[in-house]
A and B are shown apart, each in its own frame.
Chain A
């Protein structure tokens, strides 16, 4: 089954404790990206990747890092999480930059 898989789905952590949200897709898609969803703000892009070893900032990259060492994986790293990073995070992929985006099920992160 074609899918984008995120882990963990739910996480409660404390300020400053590094965490990684993994994202993996099995569709051989070149394009992957991360979004965060906040009430009243819709979805905002954090980072995106056009292909392996190619990443670029989205609209809200501060406090986040990403890497794309393999085509299928695109982890989101929060080096020192803060409460304003409490949000619902979505990973997405598509075959090409303008194609339909396939989204993961979301990861709800709470930073205390």
Chain B
């Protein structure tokens, strides 16, 4: 079965701390896509990254980095030197190329305190 697990329901950190959000996925397919989205308190969903299953290179974008490991079926997201504006709910998602469904995890709420 296709599934995305975000075991961390809520994380609280103090500003400038590094924080890692975990994402573990299950799929029977060799071709798939993984995504991260951010949902700030205002409610909209903001795209952060898309990664296909053939590209295991880690990605860095400013303070954000992603670690994709097929061996452990994980696609973890790290925020370096967190800021209050990073406070949001973060969703990991898996897209099945055959069914076209986008399967979301239940999200991790990150609170960054000043």
By a beta-carbon cutoff of 8 Å, the part of chain A in contact with chain B is 31, 33, 35, 40-45, 48, 50, 56, 58-59, 88, 90, 92, 97-103, 105-106
Contacts and interface: CB of A to CB of B under 8 A. Distances in A.
B101 A45 contact: yes
10 contacts: A35-B104, A41-B106, A42-B104, A45-B102, A45-B103, A59-B101, A88-B43, A101-B35, A101-B102, A106-B44
Contacts of A98: 33, 52, 95, 97, 100
B25 interface: no
Q: Which 4 A-B pairs have the closest CB atoms?
A: A103-B45, A42-B106, A43-B104, A42-B104
Contacts, number: 52
Given A50-B100, A98-B33, A98-B95, A42 B47 contact: no
